[in-house]
Amino acid sequence: MNTQIVFTADAGAIVAILILFAFGALIVAAAWKFITKKKAGLKYEREEVRPAEEEKAKEPEEAPAEAGKVEEEEYGEGLYGDRLEDETPPEPAKPVPPEALKPVEPPKPPPKAVEPKPEAAPPAPRPKEKPKPKTLKEGLGKTREGFIARLNRVLFGGKKSVEQVLEEVEEVLFTADIGVKTSQRLLEFVRKELSGKDLQDPAKVRDALKAEIARIVDLNPPPFAYDSSKPFVMMMVGVNGVGKTTTIGKIGRRLNEKGMSVIMAAGDTFRAAAAEQLEIWGDRAGVQVIRGQDGGDPAAVIYDAVSAAKSKGADVVIADTAGRLHTKVPLMEELKKVKRVMAKAHETAPNEVMLVVDANNGQNAIAQAREFNEALGITGIILTKLDGTAKGGVIIGICDELKIPVRYIGIGETVEDLRPFDPKEFTEALFEE
């Protein structure tokens, strides 16, 4: 009986101990589970946060505030906010399935520093491009780079005897479309002007040439006497393609802008396009154009225009003429006739006979000037297309040989590119460094 009681008591103690062990084991297991979950949570946190932090570290320090703004505008605040919440670690107590450990969306890329989206910063609208008028220096660029640059190379190009330098200068002048006579004159001037010692100084030789060129081109004509006659009639002559019609359009527009009433006479009846060309200029400037029949008598068209100007009280008539003829009559004879008939409509007409020459023609432009002058008595010269040629030296030869003043020079296509000729400004622009 006693033994049975002792056995029962022992068995009870053993059961109690076993229960205690079991409790202990449960507590240890629970604690282990908690620790493992905690570890998993930390791992998630590291995976989730690290990329963002690493990207942040890569971010350039000088990211402009604008770039951030662009990003924010693109995604919207809500989305941006959600993403920030995603980056917080999950509650450690809740079991986390392995797939959930990976972020559902990759962390948002940091704002790009250098490329703001075009929608956010649209480029400023560009103003419409139209041909820009040139500066005189630009317009004379080719002549300066040709003739003047060669002159500088010869003068400043190293040790040579005075005679050798002068010989080379002479060669440059001869080949610069200045003309033989004018080149010789320039050289004689340098020899006379400078003493032996000064001739060795390239800067002095250059300055002497520049001063003499400035003197040659400065024929100092009086301004156009627009008030001396009503209408004041300007007759334009020159061979085909030199720029007569274009120049008439430009002068007509200039005078019109100054408040003068102008009539343009389409006296080139050989080319239908010439009358149309003049009408386009006339439309633009609000200047009346009088034209006759294509192939008709140019003298008749110009007579009508001068008569119309007289009866209307217009200030100026600018008369276009042909550079080539459809008749067997030589050009000069036809132009002489136009000049005579003009005077019948208005006795002082023409008040100016302007010869238009193309600078590209070089030496030939001097020959044209001589020929037209003999036939018609040229009172002024317009030298066009200086912008497209290195033969700008021709202006020096024309002024020297014919003593006819250059009134305008053309250095491009716009109205402003037809410039009243200023001898000082011209020489400075030509020799400018």
Ligand X SMILES: Nc1nc2c(ncn2[C@@H]2O[C@H](COP(=O)(O)OP(=O)(O)O)[C@@H](O)[C@H]2O)c(=O)[nH]1
Q: In the stretch 253-292, what mask flags binding to ligand X with x, by CB under 6 A? A: ---------------------x------------------
Neighbours of 318 (CB within 10 A): 28
Rounded-to-integer distance, Cα 261 and Cα 332, Å: 30
Largest CA distance in the chain: 170
- Candidate list 144, 150, 346, 385; residue touching ligand X; CB under 6 A: 385
Minimum Å distance from CB 214 to ligand X? 22
Six-digit token string for 180 = 């033989």
Among Mg ion, ligand X, none, what binds residue 384 when CB lies within 5 to 8 Å by partner kind? ligand X
Return the number of the residue (147 or 270) whose C-beta is nearest ligand X.
270
**Across 348-417, where does the E strand assignment appear?**
352-358, 380-384, 406-410
The DSSP call for residue 111 is: P
Q: Closest residue (Cβ) to Mg ion?
A: 245
- Give Cα 181 distance to the centre of its chain: 39
Minimum Å distance from CB 302 to ligand X? 15
Give the DSSP per-residue string, 235-258. Answer: EEE-STTSSHHHHHHHHHHHHHHT
Minimum Å distance from CB 268 to Mg ion? 5
Rounded-to-integer distance, Cα 257 and Cα 147, Å: 36
Q: Left if phi > 0, otherwise alpha if psi is -120 to 50, otherwise beta: which for 420? A: beta
Among Mg ion, ligand X, none, what binds residue 427 when CB lies within 5 to 8 Å by partner kind? none
Rounded-to-integer distance, Cα 169 and Cα 147, Å: 10
H runs (alpha helix) in 286-316 = 298-312
Q: In the stretch 190-229, what mask flags binding to ligand X with x, by CB under 6 A? A: ----------------------------------------
Of 94, 108, 111, give the one whose Cα is nearest residue 34. Answer: 94
Name the residues that contact Mg ion, by CB under 5 A.
244-245, 268, 274
Minimum Å distance from CB 238 to ligand X? 6
CB of 369 closer than 8 Å to CB of 381:
yes
Return the number of the residue (182 or 384) whose C-beta is nearest ligand X.
384
| Residue 182 binds to ligand X (criterion: CB under 6 A) | no
Task: State which of positions 393-422 bind ligand X (CB under 6 A).
Answer: 410-413, 417
- Candidate list 45, 241, 297, 363; residue touching ligand X; CB under 6 A: 241
Among ligand X, Mg ion, none, what binds residue 388 when CB lies within 5 to 8 Å by partner kind? ligand X
Minimum Å distance from CB 180 to ligand X? 26
Residues that bind ligand X (CB under 6 A): 238, 240-246, 274, 323, 384-385, 387-388, 410-413, 417
